[in-house]
Structure 1
Amino acid sequence: MQWMKFLSINKSKYYIYKLNKLDHLVVTNNNHDQNKIIIILYGITSIVKTFSNKETIPIAILSKNNIFISKTKDNSTYYKLIALDLTYIITFNSNIDNKNFKIQKLNTIEYYINTLEKYENMNQIIVERQSKTRIFQLIILICLQFGTIKKNMITIPFKLSQEYIAIMTGLSRNTVNKVVSILYKKGIIGTDKKTFNIINIINTNLK
């Protein structure tokens, strides 16, 4: 509500989108998307940059009050926001009229810092050379950000598909399948109909 109130006070047009699980929103370099600011109001969404040759680079996994600003000038690339669970986002143009700008108490700096941390977390995963470690770091990151801890188990209230893990690690689906299969066999991870679990966060031996 605070973002809608802020934009209404400043008479700035905004749009709210509902994304169901695995829905996506594409942000391109057209006139409509240029200088667009996207705020996550609720839920979890991943951002992936896609090039003309279909190569993708994972950018970040964002949640409530995280900020994404589209300023790409490259017509050969676009961004895709993928909802991990039910997600609501608000979008508006960054060109707010500064002459009539009215300040409202928003923790904007805190939100930016938190968002930058999410970008840095993803960057640390992508630079990891070992496929096993890269995949497990992604799983740990998601579990720690969005999961609940009970004894030695971390549970997140949604399932992680192997296709999604491949997208967010930049690895092939075949590599992900092999590594995830090993993690299952070792009893490190597990799933049921609605959740994804790290079974034992203390005794996790990836060798």
Structure 2
Amino acid sequence: MKWLNYFLNFNIPFYIYKLNMNDSIIYSRNIKINQPMIILYGMIYIIKNFHNHKKTTIAILDAENILYINHMKEKNCHYKIIAISKSFLMSFQWKNLININENLNHIIFKELIKLYTRTNKKYEMMNIIMSHKYIKNRVIQLLLFCARDCGNINKTYVTISHYISQNTIGLLSGSTRTTINRILKKLTYNKYIEYSIDKKITINIYYFYMPNIKKQSLNIK
């Protein structure tokens, strides 16, 4: 992993966090954490929890994304970082990068800009998902984005590399497990998706994109 190599080779202090599936990190105004974290491996999502019990997912991040929640000013909410799969995050302090030699400083900050650019696209992706009125469309968009960003391609199939539970899909799309179960069953019945032996979702690109295929209506809102 290039980030580990950068930090080890140039003696830049860092700390590795390991999150197992469903482990979480909470950011609130009472917790003064302002260290950025680079996702080395795995997949996490960020939920904004309001004190009136409403919540919304604001991003799904994976390897080569950066997590940085700093100086929270909102009094009525907190952020929760939840691991979809086993994940490794590397935290560091900005001051330690500033103190390294100028040539390395330039290289690392150039790479960090790339991380921020990739990460910003993930926030935009979540906005697109949540802009759909119907839950079925949110779920389909979510699966397609995950397949694009972390999928293993095999001819006309793409398998999402991380196991994503129905509960997690419900949280990500703003729905319930019952509704998600019904949508996934319909998608499976119509051959849009299937499950691998280890319960990972496989998307049948042939059914999604071939224009000459007569697609059945899902009839799910």
Task: Give the TM bin, normalised by the shorter chain.
Answer: 0.7 to 0.9
Secondary structure at the counterpart of residue 30 of structure 1: coil
Distance 1:6 1:44 in 2: 22
Specify the alignment match of 1:27 in structure 2.
Answer: 27
Q: CA deviation at 1:179?
A: 1.2
User: Given the superposition, is the C-alpha separation of residues 202 and 7 from structure 1 closer, same or farther in structure 2, using an over 3 Å criterion?
Assistant: same
Specify the alignment match of 1:78 in structure 2.
Answer: 78
Distance 1:84 1:165 in 2: 10
What aligned pairs does 1:49-198 form with structure 2 within 5 A after superposition? 49-71=48-70, 72-94=72-94, 96=95, 100=99, 102-103=101-102, 104=104, 105-106=107-108, 107-198=111-202
| TM-score (normalised: structure 1) | 0.85
Give the total of aligned pairs: 205
Q: Cα deviation per residue 1:89-145 (whole Å; 9 max; x = unaligned)?
A: 022345x27974644222111111111111111110111112211111101111111
- In structure 2, list runs of 5 or more residues that go unmatched: 209-214
| TM-score (normalised: structure 2) | 0.80
Q: Over the residues paired in the alignment, what is the CA RMSD in angstroms?
A: 2.6
Q: CA deviation at 1:4?
A: 5.3
| Percent identity of paired positions between Structure 1 and Structure 2 | 31
Q: Cα deviation per residue 1:43-78 (whole Å; 9 max; x = unaligned)?
A: 211111111122221111112221121122224322
Q: More helix by proportion, 1 or 2?
A: 2
Contact 2:16/2:91 (8 A) holds in 1:
yes
Secondary structure at the counterpart of residue 50 of structure 1: strand
Q: CA deviation at 1:7?
A: 5.9
Specify the alignment match of 1:37 in structure 2.
Answer: 36
